[in-house]
Structure 1
Amino acid sequence: MTDDVRNVHDALSAVAEHWQPHRLASINDYDVKVVKLQGEFVWHSHPETDELFLVVSGQLVIQLRDRDVVLNPNDVFVVPRGVEHCPKAVGEVHAILFEPQGTVNTGDVGGDRTAPLRELD
């Protein structure tokens, strides 16, 4: 991890695949991740941690069991720990995630959509 200034738009330009988070920076025991999203993910939860979504571009719907939360550019939403959710990108979405180091993108369900955290070049 570098201690240089990082540009969010440049970092997102370097991300090629959807649903593959890349570490932009770390602060204390947390990672700041950039990710491109498209389509629907999987229903999952993070029993031990909250998860923050910040939409940079596009529209992201965070499906919860009791409602949908619609996020547009510059909107932030925190999914509380243990709450089952399913992100759904309307078109391509660029986003920033903030969560503890080691947090798995598919939370408690695993499966073939589980992605290792990648480093930006």
Structure 2
Amino acid sequence: MEGKLGHSTLIDVSKIMASCKEKWVNYSLAEVNDCLVRVGILEGEFHWHKHDKEDEFFLVIEGKLLLDLEHETLELLPNQGYTVPRKVIHRTRANEKTVVLMVEGNTVNPKGD
């Protein structure tokens, strides 16, 4: 599944989850106004980074997301979310397969600025 899906498209996240064999992947699902809605399927850790212009919202669908901030680590469980403000250094980690819905500005570089 490449790129984002168009408007008026049924999105079935459970099918995306079932078909994913990779340990770390990020799919753009839709663009809503000036924001991207993405699903991330994660296992392992991402590098420390920040986004200079965009906030980043994470909502755990399945699994457990560890969200490392500069001075603390948050543990997000299913149905829990958190917004990382722009310019805040952070990284995400998951010790087991974790599925996360993300909302961020459509100009975001997913790997950080």
TM class, shorter-length:
0.7 to 0.9
Give matches, 1:27-106, under 5 Å.
Answer: 27-106=32-111
Select 2:112's aligned residue among 101, 107, 114: 107
Larger deviation, residues 3-12 vs 31-40 = 3-12
Cα distance change, pair 101–16 in 1 and its aligned pair in 2 (3 A): farther
| Structure 1 residue ranges, 4+ long, deviating more than 3 angstroms after superposition | none
Aligned-partner SS, 1:21: strand
Write the distance in 1 (CA, Å) between the matches of 2:110 and 2:79. Answer: 21
Indicate which of 15, 39, 63 corresponds to 2:20: 15
Residue type at the aligned position of 2:46: F
Q: Is the 8 A contact 2:24 2:44 kept in 1?
A: no
Q: What is the Cα deviation at residue 104 of structure 1?
A: 1.6
**Separation (CA, whole Å) in 1 of partners of 2:38 and 2:69:** 22
Kept after mapping to 1: 8 A contact 2:23/2:44 = no
- The unaligned stretches of length 5 or more in structure 2 are none
Report sequence identity in percent. Answer: 33
CA distance in 1, matches of 2:21, 2:27: 10
Asked if 2 retains the 8 angstrom alpha-carbon contact of 1:18 and 1:35, the reply is no
Letter of the 1:7 partner, please give it: D
Amino acid at match of 1:13: A
Q: TM-score, normalised by structure 1?
A: 0.82
* Offset at residue 12 of structure 1 (A): 2.6
